[in-house]
Amino acid sequence: MRAALGLVWPQVPLQRCWAHKLRNIADKVPEKEGSCVREAAAMYQASSRREAQRSIRRWAWKWRSRRPRAVACVERDLEELLTFYAFPPAHWRKIRTTNIIERAFREVRRCTRPMSSFTNPASCDRIVFGVISHLNRSWERKPLKEFTQKA
């Protein structure tokens, strides 16, 4: 998907999902060291990109010797994890995760799974288009609160 995005929209900056990144970190850390994940979560809550970078450096310094795979997981995608700081602060909360996109995909799956098969690709396309169109219309009627306040 990343290659396709770069091909179709090369000028659009990529944002990695912090929720997924935290899950990736949690997979690399035993439960008894849950503070590593909690401290990592604090990194994206910084008030500026510079503050976030400082927080990440402190976190990496603290955890690199005990959990090098967790630190490498963050450092590998650091630039794409911090892309949201280039946008207005009111948008940060919605940009730094992919929850809204995943919700749309989940709705498509919910509608298509009960159908055992499609007669042809066009029939599947029609269902997917219908679900996405419905979601778009519902989002137009009920815009995200952060995006409508003093924009």
Task: Look up residue 47 and give its amino acid.
Answer: S
Structural domain boundaries in the chain: 2-86, 99-148
pTM above 0.85, yes or no: no
- Token pair listed for 151: 């924009």
Q: Which residues contact 109 (CB under 8 A, 6 or more apart)?
A: none
What average pLDDT values come out for the chain (151 residues) when binned by 10 residues?
Answer: 80 89 93 90 91 95 96 94 93 81 77 77 83 81 57 42
Q: Is the CB of residue 124 less than 8 Å from the CB of residue 74?
A: no
pLDDT tens across 88-119, in order? 998 898 888 877 777 777 788 887 777 767 78
Please give, one letter per residue, the 3-state secondary structure of 67-80.
Answer: CHHHHHHHHHCHHH
